[in-house]
Amino acid sequence: MITGVDFVYVPTRDFDRAARFYGEVLELPLSARYGKMPGAEFETGNLTLAVIESEKFGVEFHPNKNHIALRVDDVAAARAGLESRGVEFGADTLDTSVCHMAFFEDPDGNALMLHHRYAPRQP
């Protein structure tokens, strides 16, 4: 029946600002623009982020406060790179004994995290 997840919706109030953040700051490839509508898709490797100026699509804006975990090979290096581009993190990097996580937000307050699992999953 369900074979995967095609995209996750990321709301914004300012599409141009959000597109710069996802494309230039996070360096995610842009795979589609929504014509004259303020929306675009950015690729993470296994999931598409559909960044949409929600109110222009008739949806009230509410930032997503549930973190989207962005997989990286090295959280410390990725964090340093983002900090050099002006991204502020909410706390120190968390080591859970199975993964590293570093929490931040996009310019609209959508919750994001850098994530790297270093221990194998346990059944």
Distance CA 4, CA 99 (A): 24
Distance CA 45, CA 116 (A): 14
Q: The whole model's pTM is what?
A: 0.93
Q: Which domain holds residue 83?
A: 7-117
Question: What's the confidence (pLDDT) of residue 79?
Answer: 98
CATH number, domain of 15, equals 3.10.180.10
Question: What's the confidence (pLDDT) of residue 101?
Answer: 98
- Which residues does 34 contact at the CB level (< 8 Å), separation at least 6? 40, 52
Instruction: Give a yes or no: residue 37 inside a domain.
Output: yes
pLDDT in tens, 76-92: 999 999 999 999 999 99
Distance CA 76, CA 65 (A): 23
Question: What's the confidence (pLDDT) of residue 121?
Answer: 84
Instruction: Give a yes or no: residue 1 inside a domain.
Output: no
Q: How confident is the model at residue 122 (pLDDT cuts 50, 70, 90)?
A: confident
Number of domains the chain is built from: 1
Residues constituting the chain: 123
Tokens 């995209």 map to which residue?
7
Distance CA 56, CA 108 (A): 15
